[in-house]
Structure formats: structure tokens, C-alpha cells
Structure 1
Amino acid sequence: MIKSTSAAVARRRAPRSFADRVTSPPPGTKDMLRLFLSGGLRTPAGAGDRIPVLRRGLPTIEPGAAGITWVGHAGFVLRIGGACVLTDPVWSTRIPGVSRRLTPAGLDWSQLPRVDAVVISHNHYDHLDAPTLRRLSRDTPMLVPAGLRGWFVRRGFRTVVELDWWESADVAGLRFEFVPAHHWSRRRLFDTCRSLWGGWVIEQPSGHRLYHAGDSGYGHWFTEIGRRHPDLDVAMLPIGAYSPQWLSQHSHLNPEEAVQAFDDLGARRMATMHWGTFALSSEPVCEPIERVRTAWDATGRARDDLWDLAVGESRVLQSEPGRETA
């Protein structure tokens, strides 16, 4: 059963454009041409060999515990409150416009338990992957940004919950709230900002609270999310695809900004993502994780609270808040 905080969610008519929500104008045709001519997406030979991979399947979790497993890029398998949730799932080896995947998916598809819900942050190909979604039952609940419901309905999904910023819905015993991000959307040449973008706060009643940022640049929304959700157990934050800065600074966090965003959120732990999977930018492939560790250490925070996961690695939050095992 699905319950929404807004009775209008199921029958909303999304505005033609969400361009008024953009923090800074998205890259245009000239920007992308400049990027391609500069060779900004070239992947060094053997780059994937240096990215840590730890494919050990899903760990057993006890009742009341929560587990997160990094599949790669922005994709996690979240097991919380007895439910299994996928975030921005991409199991494909290729997505349009970039080189082949650098590392394998952190979990074989056959190892997944029943999927109780899928959350999508926005419609870019590295977050909304049609071949992966085709593997799912069409009864799987899909939680999506405003303006994206039609995309899923046309592909046969029967339970699609479309949310605006700060709206929430109850699915599979969990509360899902769609929260703002400093980003933008585009799937085709002429549909820029026709659908919304954002992150997700996923809460188990009287239990754990997780935040998945989707894609975002740095800005004021992190402080506001932290104010509204002051007890986040884990913040999953992007750390890659930031170079060149002239192109990405308003839509992708660099590692130092990710640590600052974590501080703004006031969360207990930070899990890294959005690096080591696709060559979307020009920084060396392992630079994001190296820089985020340096930035984290400079804050004096406990190193155990930085979940700098390998592809396929899992962490578990025990039923008592604030205690976890690897």
C-alpha cells in the first residue's frame, strides 16, 4: 500500500518546465562541444584496474539493522526496515555518450532479493538506465521526480509515485521524501528541465534514516535538508565528475565540497558515490577518493565515519543508532 502526503500527487499535472528551480544554467551546446573537442572524456588505458572492487554479495542483517551496498556510480542496494530499495540502479556495461563501464556492477543481478521500491534522482542516463529497469517486475513501486511519471507508465510500470520537492510517500513500510538538489535534467536534445531532479531521504519509522543526494553541486540546500532531517544516519554523497570545474562546478560536488555538504547536513556518516564507474569527466579516476580522504582527515572526524566504499562493498547499521559493522 502506498500513502502520499499530497492527495494530488497521483493525478498531478507537472509544469512544462522546472527551469526556475535551477541554481545555475545547465551546460549548453557550446559547452559540450568545447568539452568534447578538449578530449575531456578520454579514459586512460587500464584506468579501471586501480579502482577497488570487493564483490562479496549481500551480508546478512539482523531485524532492526540496515545495510547499504554500493553497486557503482549512484547505485546502492539499501536494506532497511525489512525492505529492499534500489537507488538510481545501473547494471548496464554502457550508457549513451561515454566509454564502457570501468568496473563491474558490485552485485550480480541474480543476487538481489525482491525489490520493494526504486528511487530515481533525475533523468540523466547515468542515473535513469532503461535496460536495467526492464529487468524489474512492472509491479515494482517507482518513486520518481515530478515530470517523469509518463516515462515509466509508457514502459509498463503500474505503480509510479511522482513527487515534488519536500513531498513524501509511504511505501513498503518506509517514508520516502524527495528533497532538492543543485542540478538539472535532460534526456533528449530539447527536453532540458522538463522533469525535476533531487535526492531522497528514506526513513524507517522509529529506526534508521538514510539520505541519497542523487547528483548535486554545492549550495544552500544541504543546510536546509539537515535542518528538516537532523538525525540522518548516513549521507550518500557524490564525489566525482567535477573536472573541468568551469563545466561542472554548479552541478557536481568536488571531494572537498562533498565533505562540506556532509558537515552542513549534520549526518553521522558519509558514504561516497558517483566515481569509479563511468568516465564522465577529466579528473584521474582515483583522484576523487584520494581527495575526499584527505579532506575528511583534515576535519579531524573519526575515519570510521567515512564509508569510502569499494565497488560491491557493504556496511551495516546495527539496530542501536550510531553503531555499525563492516
Structure 2
Amino acid sequence: MLLLLFVGCAHGPLPGGSEGVQRPPHHGPEGFRNRGEAIEDKGLLTLLKWRWQAWRTQLPPPPQAPVPQQPPDLVFLQHNARAGAAMQSAVTWIGHASMLVQVAGLNLLLDPMFSERASPLSWIGPKRAQAPALTPATLPRIDAVLISHNHYDHLDLPSLQALARQPGGPPRWIVPLGVSRLLVDAALPGAEHSIELDWWQETDLPGAAGPVAVALTPAQHWSRRGLSDRNRTLWGGFALFAPELHLLYTGDTGYSDDFRAIRARYAERQTPARGGGFDLALIPIGAYEPRWFMRAQHVNPEEAVQIHLDLGARQSVGVHWGSFEMSFEPLDQPPRDLALARRARGLADEAFRTLAIGETLRLPRRPPAQ
């Protein structure tokens, strides 16, 4: 049971192809795997050692200061949601890794998580320290939900069920390979029409002035919701390509060469004449201590800055911190460590920043292609 609570009951399909079709390198005979470092199954004893260390040393310490929060600008968000081609590109941090992205007339949600606990049970497991800034009742109508992987703090079925009840019908669900089976088994409305993507695969969403491409990108992580489904479903991040904004959400990840590969993969699409690299990257900066346990699966702020540099992003925002105690650092520590890492690399404060929960970052329009 502890394993379920802290690692995050799907039985996704085994990856593989028809006879004679070459299996992609990240498709194994019994599940998926990373492009680079394999993440070992630490097992129950190692997990208990980690939790015992936390209990014995009273970790994490309490925060030194409250996690910044501000009321969301609901007037702007709702007006912008209905603006069509006049929509201003913007992102609003709901909390943890959940983000509302408004672009090209579309309202998109990344890894929506509104529940009190990141757990399969309502009475035990990581408990929310800050309320989400937006809820299904206060959000604009959502066109699509993008889910990076199946861990409980990223794929929360009660949150998805609430979103599915929005006026006008459920949003489109876009997920990595194998995850749609979980949604169908949960009787999630619209799950039978969800879009499953492998790494580098794309789908188009109907933007106000033309299609917006959504691609699943590699990340160094893993998946599990039960005791027997480790890595049976894929994980990753999402790249969005609209004329006015190129955005990358890395999803949960350890540091790897995946981000140099992402930059190379889209180099032709992001030449200087076409506006350059990603306008915004959303990169996790929390849940990184102790390194012996977290390094392979969660970057620390220093590694997050390196991802920003690997991508060549114009600007990055740190996510995946401040809401759930899932590691040994205090909830308010990631921005302080990010500031140290940023200064060590000579980056301006605005190059890689954090938001207050509820804050909206309005983004300039991407330079037009020449």
C-alpha cells in the first residue's frame, strides 16, 4: 500500500508492433523505457528506508515563508477564453504541475490536479498544502487536457471526471501510449475518443487561425499506478506549436540529453527566420531531495537551469513545487535554489522565474516568420 501512495490500476497494453515491424528503442518487451538512464525499481524496502529517514530526521522542514499566492484574474481569463483569434497567449499556474494555457483561441490544461491528496485514497498520502488557484467551476471551458504520465499527482481521476462534466461536453484528452485504457476503464466521458501519442508523434487541435500542433516529447521518468503495471504506459512532455507561441512542458523528468534532442528535433521548425526556439518552457523545480532517491527521476533547480539552456528557450517558468510535500526539501526551497542556480549561470531573473499560485503570465506574440 505504501508503494501505491508514494509512487504514484492501470493495465496498459504492452508496447510492440506487428510481426516484421521494428520496435522503437524505448519500447521494451514488457513496457517502456527511457532513451538514456534506466530508472531502477527501488522496491518496497528502499521506499520504506526513504520514508523512515524522513520520519527519523523530521523531514521536510517547515517552510520559512508562505508559498506565494494571489487571486486569479478571472475577468481576464474568461474574456481571453472567448477572444478567438484575438486571444493573448497566457499561462496561469493553478498549483503543482497544473497549468492553464491559453493560445490561438484554445484553452488547454496541463496535468490538472484539484484533489486534496495525490493518492488513490482520500485519507492518506501527500496532502495539498495550498488550494488550487482555479477549479473546474471557475475555469473557462477547456478544449483539451494534456496528461504527461499516470502518477497520481499528474493524472487525478476525480479532477478529470469534474472537467468532463463541464457545459458543452468533455474536453479532448491527449495522453501518452497506454493511458487511454485507464481513462476508459474509469468510464471517463470522451475517453473512447482520446488521442494517444508516442514520443515525437503529433496531433492537431483546431486553433482560431489554423491548426495548433501538439507533440509528445521524451522525458526521463517512469510510470506506475499499481503493483504490477510499472512502465506499462508511456510518459513524456508536450510541445505546442502555434503561430503566436511555441511552448514546451517537460513533464516530470530527471536530467538527460532528451532536451538537447528536442532542440535538435525541432531546429528546422525554429530557425531564426521562423522565430527561433521555444518562447516558454515549463520545467519542474521541486521534489528533488534526497538526491540518492530522486536524481534519476526529478531534476533539481540546477539541472532545471541546464534544461533551459539545452532547449535554448527564451523564458522558463518553474513548476512542480509548493503544493505537495513529496520529498525532503521544504515547500518554499525550490525558488531559492533556482535563484542560486540562475545566478551561477549568469541568467537574468526573468529568464527563468516562478509564478505565484494563481498568477497569469501574459506572453508576447512570437516573432513572425521572415
Query: What is the TM-score normalised by the length of structure 2?
Result: 0.78
- The match for 2:125 among 98, 108, 114 is 98
- The match for 1:225 among 258, 262, 268 is 262
Amino acid at match of 1:164: D
Counterpart contact for 1:102–1:276, Cα < 8 Å: yes
Quick one: distance in 2 between partners of 1:177 and 1:271? 20
| Higher alpha-carbon deviation: 245-254 or 39-48 | 39-48
Corresponding residue for 1:241?
Answer: 287
Quick one: distance in 2 between partners of 1:125 and 1:99? 10
- Structure 2: segments with no counterpart, 5+ residues: 1-12, 17-28, 271-276
**Alpha-carbon offset, residue 45 of structure 1:** 8.2
SS in 1 for 2:50: helix
Quick one: distance in 1 between partners of 2:329 and 2:58? 10
- The match for 1:53 among 69, 74, 79 is 69
**Alpha-carbon offset, residue 312 of structure 1:** 1.0
Counterpart contact for 1:117–1:172, Cα < 8 Å: no
Cα 1:34/1:290, change in 2 over 3 Å? same
Corresponding residue for 1:151?
Answer: 182
Quick one: distance in 1 between partners of 2:97 and 2:254? 15
Quick one: distance in 1 between partners of 2:135 and 2:333? 27
| Higher alpha-carbon deviation: 127-136 or 149-158 | 149-158
Amino acid at match of 1:221: D
- 2:170 is equivalent to residue 170 of structure 1: no
Aligned residues, how many? 310
Amino acid at match of 2:152: Y
| Higher alpha-carbon deviation: 272-281 or 152-161 | 152-161
Quick one: distance in 2 between partners of 1:132 and 1:90? 6
Q: Work out which of the two has the higher radius of gyration on C-alpha atoms and give 1 or 2.
A: 2
Q: What are the within-5 Å matches in structure 2 for residues 230-269 of structure 1?
A: 230=270, 231-269=277-315
Counterpart contact for 1:26–1:184, Cα < 8 Å: no
Counterpart contact for 2:95–2:357, Cα < 8 Å: yes
- 2:142 is equivalent to residue 119 of structure 1: no
Corresponding residue for 1:203?
Answer: 241
Deviations 1:109-132 (A, max 9, x none): 322111000000000000000110
Corresponding residue for 1:6?
Answer: none
**Alpha-carbon offset, residue 49 of structure 1:** 5.9
SS in 1 for 2:361: strand
Amino acid at match of 2:241: E
**Alpha-carbon offset, residue 94 of structure 1:** 1.3
Corresponding residue for 2:220?
Answer: 182
Amino acid at match of 2:184: V
Counterpart contact for 2:61–2:328, Cα < 8 Å: no
Cα 1:44/1:217, change in 2 over 3 Å? closer
SS in 2 for 1:111: coil
Identity across the alignment (%)? 35
Query: What is the TM-score normalised by the length of structure 1?
Result: 0.88
Amino acid at match of 2:103: I
Corresponding residue for 1:34?
Answer: 49
Counterpart contact for 1:57–1:107, Cα < 8 Å: no
Counterpart contact for 2:63–2:333, Cα < 8 Å: no
**Alpha-carbon offset, residue 42 of structure 1:** 6.0
Cα 1:184/1:320, change in 2 over 3 Å? closer
What is the alpha-carbon root mean square deviation over aligned residues? Answer: 2.3
| Higher alpha-carbon deviation: 149-158 or 120-129 | 149-158
SS in 2 for 1:30: helix
Counterpart contact for 2:32–2:233, Cα < 8 Å: no
- Structure 1: segments with no counterpart, 5+ residues: 1-11
Quick one: distance in 1 between partners of 2:318 and 2:265? 22
Quick one: distance in 2 between partners of 1:75 and 1:198? 15
